[in-house]
């Protein structure tokens, strides 16, 4: 009988110190009727907390079809309106671009360690209009603009020198251009939420979890409490 590979390896057990979530509570009576307003309230509190050094950091998850293979990455959330949450990226060569082409669903997750809070967002994605993408692109540092032109994001490179050469060529390309244009393949992606969950850590893993749900963006929100 072949050995079970799980039995032939010594497990490595990581046992960090016990961490209790004990800073706050969340009751349904505390929630605002609109989840975008509720998110804005929590996000402002995270921005004011000096120990939350990067409150706009998110995990963005996407999945390729038909394989169902999931990929995720850390990005920075940039804009919010009542339609949803917007991120910016390369939508020609990146892995997430390939995923979104085959499957428009996406999910993002915020985690604010000091406040002991998470916000999970699931929904459908849509590209923002060109005017919005260009407006944001023009606020970026010059080096970041050149980087957007230089990097064939997620494609294989021979070595670091190849990337540096691409950056050099594009820096030379735009040397006399004051306002570097936004590439056609670069822009914003909005996650239009169908579900937004607010998670407040509580002791003994008995966390408070409330989720706003709707079947489509035209339906009213329903708030339910979830078991932790």
Is the separation of the CB atoms in 75 and 87 below 8 Å? Answer: yes
Q: Which of 7, 51, 160, 205 is catalytic?
A: 205
Q: Are 149 and 170 in contact (CB under 8 A)?
A: yes
**214 has catalytic annotation:** no
Catalytic positions? 205
């Amino acid at each position: 009988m072949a050995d079970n590979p799980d039995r032939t390896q010594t497990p490595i057990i990581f046992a960090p110190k016990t961490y209790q979530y004990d800073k706050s509570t969340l009751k349904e009576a505390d929630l605002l009727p609109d989840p975008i307003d509720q998110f804005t309230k929590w996000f402002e509190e995270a921005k004011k907390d000096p120990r939350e050094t990067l409150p706009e950091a998110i995990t963005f998850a996407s999945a390729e079809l038909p394989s169902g293979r999931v990929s995720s990455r850390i990005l920075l959330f940039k804009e919010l309106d009542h339609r949803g949450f917007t991120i910016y990226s390369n939508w020609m060569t990146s892995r997430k671009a390939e995923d979104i082409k085959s499957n428009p669903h996406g999910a993002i997750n915020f985690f604010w360690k000091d406040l002991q809070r998470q916000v999970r967002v699931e929904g459908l994605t849509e590209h923002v209009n060109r005017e919005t993408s260009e407006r944001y692109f023009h606020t970026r540092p010059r080096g970041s603009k050149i980087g957007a032109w230089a990097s064939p994001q997620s494609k294989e490179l021979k070595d670091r020198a190849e990337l540096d050469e691409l950056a050099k060529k594009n820096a030379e390309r735009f040397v006399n251009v004051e306002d570097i244009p936004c590439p056609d393949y670069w822009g914003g992606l909005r996650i239009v939420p169908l579900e937004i969950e607010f998670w407040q850590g509580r002791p003994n893993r008995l966390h408070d979890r409330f989720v706003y749900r709707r079947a489509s963006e035209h339906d009213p929100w329903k708030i339910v409490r979830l078991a932790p």
